[in-house]
Amino acid sequence: MSTIPFELFAPYNNEAFLVADFNHWEPIAMTKGEDGYFRIEVDLDDGRYLYRFEITSKSWFYEPDQRVQIADPYATEIDDTEDQNAILEIKNGKRVIGPYEWKNDMTPLPQDHELIIYELLVHDFLGHNPGDLTRGKFTDIIPKLDYLTDLGVNAIELLPVEEYPGENGWGYNPRHFFAVESSYGTPTEYKQMIDACHGHGMRVFKDGVYNHAETSTPLAQIDHDYWFHHDPVDAENNWGPEFNYVKYDENLDLMPARKFIGDVIGHWVHEYHIDGIRFDAVAQLNNFDALRYFCEKGKEISGEKPFTLIAEYIPDDPEVVLPDGPTDACWNESFYFAIKDIVTGAEIDIDTLCDCIDPRRRGYESGVRIVNYLCTHDHNQIMADIGHAGIQGEAAFKRAAMGAVILLTAIGIPMIWAGQEFGHYKDKSTEPAPIDWGLLDGEDNQQLLQLYKALIYLRKTNSALHGNDIDFFHIDPGLPLIAYNRWNGEGARVVTVLNLSDQYLGGYQIPGMPVDGTWKDWTHDCEVQVSDGTLQIDLGEWEAKVFVI
């Protein structure tokens, strides 16, 4: 039997009690210290226990000093019951969180300029036969890692994994910020999945929702206005109590919301060995000082290994990223809308396209400061967007292939939304929508997948696509058609040609090629000749070609 401490930070509440199964759910009074913590110690044997706290609430929506029961705000595991009990596990006389022995911590992981990110939702990634909505779990991702390795991606970004209400949804309404979503699996299984990813040379990014919380989150029940704004700051984009990152407690010399989320970030980095964070709703969070503190906290704890902080900042803006902003990179929402317009048949603006392919034209320092994508969880799959534009069959796959070529040859970190690589057709929805892996049996789907594999391999192995040098050397606005050259100082060159028209172009001449000689047509695995700076090729309607020397 060992002495186990329990504590609850509630500096302006009058009373707090520990309520637990090891005491037959009878409240035990806790002692309050000058630092604002209620504490108690209990002698317990090794095992798993359930507990919660009872507190005299200071929240304005309760009666004065009304007693309410809450889960521990720092609970690392929550039971799947209405009571929302915290789970405490004791092993060898100490608290443990998902016991696990890490095996792949020393495996080299990609640097930011090498990243190919794959975004997925745990529940939907499993995939079954049509109509089977069995939800996926962390352990279901592990058998798919060979597929992802073969595809070529080297980082996965999971939608939020913190405990949230219900079993459907995406998790952007976090209730328990330290606990793993129980419908996805256990803390041990989450660690097992991350370790397996590391063993495949893949980084794992966490989606961090730190702008707001779900209404029943414990902090809101303890003393709502100590951690959250009393009223919504942005009523049109309000998803729950909004953290107040400017609130300062003079008595304790701390900023409550910043401290809490800093502790949250430290927990996930230290305990689960994550390799980066995507910050949700940064424009609504609207506090670069707090964000900078969170980024510094994450990098400090992660140590020497690569660790990347990415902002969802809409509309995207260079101000949020280095060298002057707090984060390493941000999502490129402008890229999404520009490429969507192109592949769905909207009027094409060449300058806008060039701005997306080269983000430095919009003020970004380099490609590692921006994450490009054709679709994400917040949008339809690209095949659905194309289909809604009335483009079907082979023509739709041509447009999807065009998007893939632009995505994987543009300056910036490319990101793929699960299933995009083989033409998964899915509208944006928080309802269950398992990936239809059966599509891989389709000829067009398989061709699109092979194109993604070839382009990702090129992206990873050709250093011309790792830097920031680019030249839009041939533009034919009448079609339109555009050709651009990417290179580095070591002689590597990649030229991309985009025929963005419905016209077949036989014997089309492209002047201004950077080097004469034999080039490889990467998209068709054949050779072409360039002489006197001119390339002559045939281009089908809506065809993109990539040439390498």
Q: Where in the chain is the domain with CATH 2.60.40.1180?
A: 469-548
Share of the chain above pLDDT 70, in %: 99
Pairing of strands 16-20, 28-29: antiparallel
Other CB atoms within 10 A of residue 336 CB: 22
pLDDT tens, residue by residue, 124-156: 998 655 566 678 999 999 999 999 999 999 999
Q: How far apart are CA 11 and CA 463, in angstroms?
A: 55
Asked if 381 contacts 375 with a C-beta cutoff of 8 angstroms, the reply is yes
pLDDT tens, residue by residue, 63-88: 999 999 999 999 999 998 888 999 99
pLDDT at 10: 99
Please report the sign of the dihedral spanned by the C-alpha atoms of residue 158, residue 453, residue 542, residue 370. Answer: positive
Asked if 151 contacts 168 with a C-beta cutoff of 8 angstroms, the reply is no
Rounded to a whole number, what is the distance in angstroms from the first to the last CA of the chain?
Answer: 69
| Whole-angstrom Cα Rg for the chain | 26
- Its CATH architecture, for the domain 114-217+255-465, is Alpha-Beta Barrel (3.20)
Q: How far apart are CA 400 and CA 406, in angstroms?
A: 10
Indicate the residue type of 384.
Answer: A
The CA angle 262-265-269, to the nearest 5 degrees, is 140
At residue 519, the 3 state secondary structure works out as strand
Q: Which tokens belong to 501?
A: 């028209």
Tell me the average pLDDT across 432-461. Answer: 96
Q: How far apart are CA 206 and CA 198, in angstroms?
A: 14
Tell me the average pLDDT across 230-245. Answer: 94
pLDDT at 464 over 60: yes
Tell me the average pLDDT across 241-255. Answer: 99
pLDDT at 428: 95
Question: Residue 545 — pLDDT band, cuts 50, 70, 90?
Answer: very high
pLDDT tens, residue by residue, 299-337: 999 999 999 999 999 999 999 999 999 999 999 999 999
Asked if 58 contacts 25 with a C-beta cutoff of 8 angstroms, the reply is no
pLDDT at 179 over 60: yes
Pairing of strands 176-180, 162-163: antiparallel
Q: Which of 41-50, 425-434, 443-452, 509-518 has the lowest mean pLDDT?
A: 425-434
Tokens 């320092």 found at: 365
Q: Where are the alpha helices (DSSP H) in 93-144?
A: 122-125, 138-141
Question: Residue 494 — pLDDT band, cuts 50, 70, 90?
Answer: very high
Indicate the residue type of 402.
Answer: M
The CA angle 165-169-173, to the nearest 5 degrees, is 50
**pTM of this prediction?**
0.97
pLDDT at 128: 59
Q: Which tokens belong to 406?
A: 């632009």
Specify the CATH superfamily of domain 2-96. Answer: Immunoglobulins (2.60.40.10)
Asked if 187 contacts 257 with a C-beta cutoff of 8 angstroms, the reply is no
Pairing of strands 505-511, 493-499: unpaired
Q: How far apart are CA 33 and CA 515, in angstroms?
A: 74
- Between 132 and 291, the higher pLDDT residue: 291
Q: Where in the chain is the domain with CATH 3.20.20.80?
A: 114-217+255-465
Domain 469-548 has CATH 2.60.40.1180: yes
Q: Which tokens belong to 241?
A: 């109590």
Q: Where in the chain is the domain with CATH 2.60.40.10?
A: 2-96
Q: Which tokens belong to 91?
A: 């092993």
**Backbone φ, ψ for residue 470 (5° rounding):** -155, 145
Q: How far apart are CA 319 and CA 296, in angstroms?
A: 17
Q: How far apart are CA 259 and CA 241, in angstroms?
A: 17
DSSP string across 9-60: E-TT-S-EEEEEGGGTT--EE-EEPTTSEEEEEEEE-SEEEEEEEEEE---T
Q: How far apart are CA 320 and CA 381, in angstroms?
A: 27
Asked if 339 contacts 374 with a C-beta cutoff of 8 angstroms, the reply is yes
**Backbone φ, ψ for residue 330 (5° rounding):** -140, 155
Asked if 518 contacts 531 with a C-beta cutoff of 8 angstroms, the reply is no
Share of the chain above pLDDT 90, in %: 95
Tell me the average pLDDT across 255-269. Answer: 99
Q: How far apart are CA 336 and CA 407, in angstroms?
A: 10
